[in-house]
A and B are shown apart, each in its own frame.
Chain A
Amino acid sequence: MFKAKFKEAVICFSNPRVTLPYPFGPGAEVGEGYRGKIDVDETKCIACGGCANVCPSRLIRIYDDGEKTRMQFVLDRCTYCARCADVCPEGAIQVTQLFETSTDDKTDLYIEQELYMLTCARCGRCFETENAIDRIPTRRMREGRNFVGASMPHGAPGVRKRGGK
């Protein structure tokens, strides 16, 4: 019995203290690629709705209000799977390393954004965000680079290579 106790004592004393005085001091840093709270960059968003389509908790709501599209991220239900960041074709959704999200008011976690839609010069209807239109290549570019199906933003991933080449 004393032999066992001695071995246990050796294990205890050969390992120094590893706990941190969190939250009174700094905690351990999270690693690279950590899936924390998401952050949305409204200047990059093209309102394609891909994030709302894959969200397993269906917390991304998109309201089509005619001349503007309203997007609501109800993040109190977020499971931090970061699927939205994975599928975002424009990199508008990024995962941050923020994990200390406790609050006594859940609306603190909501993100809302409004994207103004451009109006068609011919028919006068609102149809697409400015960001998405910017990413449609002109006719000359289409002929030169042979973009396939790039007339709508869903075909746009090929367009993103513009800067790279």
Chain B
Amino acid sequence: MSTDPRSRFWPAILALGALLISATARAEPVLPVETWQTDNGAEVLFYPTDSLPMVDARVIFDAGSVRDPAGKGGTASLTASLLEEGTTERDAKAIADGFARVGAEFSASANLESSAVRLRSLTEEDWLWPAVELMAEVIAKPAFKDEDIQRERERQLRGIQSRQQSPQAVASDALRKAAFGDHPYAHPTDGTRESVESIAPDDVRDFHRQRFVAANATVVIVGDMEAEQARRLADTLTDGLPTGEPAPPLPEVPPLEESETLRINFPSEQSTVLVALDGIPRKHEDYLPLYVGNHMLGGSGFASRLMSELREKRGLAYSTYSYLMPLRAGGRLVMGIQTRNDQVETALSLMDEELSRFIDEGPSDEELADSQANIVGGFPMRLNSNGKIVEQIGALAFLDLPLDYFDDYTERVEAVTAAEIRQAFNRHVDPQKRVVVIVGPTAEEADGETD
């Protein structure tokens, strides 16, 4: 389809099409990002693309739930959701109106590793700058009124209850707790009922004061603007922030100490089974072999062994998978399945078998070649929209990975050998040491259907 010279498309191709060029001549970096620091110390990354008259701006703080004060899990999440509930200048309704009036999309939320404040706006001057100024105000000057904190905390508690009626959510929270033990990665991002009830208004204010500072912030801008405008944008967004201190290094995740199985009683017809094993942090020399290996084990849908063995050959599940949790301070490998209650033991032993076989034998050459072809062939789809580009740049910056990470990415994927994968799995994943969580009716109550 692309045999013609396409000269008329060059301006558009230049925006994103560094991809196309890099595949052959490597004349340009895959992500031609300009970086600088604001005067108060925030890191800025800017990727210009004129393919659409819009801009995505994101401020990422090292303020995920891993930074929640001890015993007050859910503080980061509560803080993020309170940002748009009022500033010292205006109330929640005025904030929402301010964004809506100019068609801007705004959101703020916390995850395990970070908190992010996001804006998507048209580049039209009259529409863009009011939204940017409002976003800056929301980040730097939240009101954090007692009654708003009280109300949002109550809503967060309802959200936790809502998670408790989902067997998958219950399993995932239980797995995190069991897999990370005393590490601050262990608690759910929204916290537990006990931890959220213990969050006082000053905890939120302190969290914001300490973490929402320039030295702890990364600004990512992707869109149709000149560098000069991007500078003004980044300055505006961070202007109200004190320099502050970057968050301290995280404690390392210790390896799993012993195997355990947790059964959680739940009135469901299907059981959710999750298994956590040791893994590695994201910045690790074995990351790529483990990533490619996991792709074959359970990371690539129908092309993966778990899907093939458990779903396609045996009809045991709609969903089965494995994924790496490559966090900054450590990681885990997780396998999962949801299956009819009476099939749990079968499914679990098949998953174990697949994992052990993979660790012992590694992939076949053909399987590896197919997997590499999938990852390499799918590479352009990881960066084919502004939304995906802002996501990838944010991740690289936050993880402190080099910005040229993608320049030789496909070559590095292709260079991974079966032996390297097997060795990496052998080094980092011990199938004898694992945490298993099973959420479903416990044995005596399982009257489940047997069709």
A binds B: no
Q: Which residues of A contact B (CB under 8 A)?
A: none
Q: Which residues of B contact A (CB under 8 A)?
A: none
